[in-house]
Amino acid sequence: MPDNLRKQPFNLPLRRLASDTAPSPDVYALQALLSQYGYLAGDYCPGHYDQATARAVTQFQSFYRLYPAEDGVCDEATINHLNQPRCGVPDPSPAHRAAHGRLSPFVTVGAQWPTVQLTFRFLNSTPDLPQNRQRDIIREAFNRWAQVSALRFTEVAANVASQLTVAFHSGNHGDGSSFDNGGGPSGNTLAHAFFPPPRGGSFAGALHFDEFELWKDQPGGPGTRLYNVTLHEIGHLLGLDHSQDQNAIMYAYYAENRNDLRADDIAGIQSLYGAPTPGPVALAPGQQVSGHLPGTGAEVRYQATLQNKLLVRLSGPPGQDFDLYVRFGAPAGRNAGEFDQVSYGVTADELVTINNPRAGTYHMLVHSYQGAGNYTLEVEVT
């Protein structure tokens, strides 16, 4: 997007706001922010620092562990926090946080996907980064969540139905949460995402980036790192709410150096979907192993280290459809684009041949596209 069309960040003036503040546009803007982030609802007097507004300020300060010298006062430290770029998803209510009844800062929303096998697709892209690179960044973020949980993500084509979708939008884009490029209270929103059903409503599983932002790949210079924001928003897609841990990726506010999952994020996602499945089974060249896939979506991982030509042969039961994925150097999710070779015919018998392979470790994934049954997997070196 041309620079002259970039958004104007919202900045509430840094001054003390309290019950003795005269009605003003600053109080009105403060109320708009508190309402947007889930702290102010119901009866309050617009533009007046009334009891409802003071209570909302106190709740915001409590969640973000801000301690003003005067109770019920919106001091400069609080306003400075409110002015920072952040996720547009409202923060969890005090009642919802209290219902968790534990010390961990992470919060779940009470909704999760009924399966650990999730599909995602790209609906469009941003001109800020080459399309291949921006999509690799987003794939890396999905894979990072898969590395710490039992979740597995598969990319599908844009015209194929999926649980999760990724898109860039500007202004009013039809989901009831408009992006703002004109300096209004929504001007600091980077992106938002919708929780799993039923919490996410008709937009459940949708991730929307603000196209008015300048999206970048690496740290340094102007712009917002796409990876950091994607990693955060995927947490919402999976059922995580905002965390009070300022080191966690699920902390609502953006920081360029907050770019990985922390213990709080991992504890939260594993509370919903469980820990990662055991690591891949090591195979020696020439070894044949047997296994069982209990049903559609099941998978088993293997690895082999070699220095010669590699053949990997999968033999499965008649009438079933199993797939074989092979990748050099590092494990991956189940996105075909992440693997060096993929064999997915319409039967359970597959063969991958890699000529002149690199010396090192190859990772293999046996996946049931459809059906169940026993199989054998054989690694040959010639």
**202 Cβ partners below 8 Å, 6+ apart?**
none
Q: How many CB atoms lie within 10 A of CB 299?
A: 16
Report which DSSP code applies to 306.
Answer: E
**58 Cβ partners below 8 Å, 6+ apart?**
71, 72
Choose the catalytic residue: 233, 256, 299, 350: 233
Contact 142, 120 (CB under 8 A): yes
Contact 221, 65 (CB under 8 A): no
332 burial via Cβ count (<10 Å: 0-12, 13-18, 19+): buried
Catalytic, 378? Answer: no
Q: Describe the chain by its helix, strand, coil percentages, rounded to 5.
A: 25, 25, 50
CA-wise closest residue to 302 among 240, 375, 249, 235: 375
293, amino acid identity: L
Report which DSSP code applies to 316.
Answer: -
81 burial via Cβ count (<10 Å: 0-12, 13-18, 19+): middle
Q: What 3-state DSSP class applies to 169?
A: strand
Which sequence positions are flagged as catalytic?
233
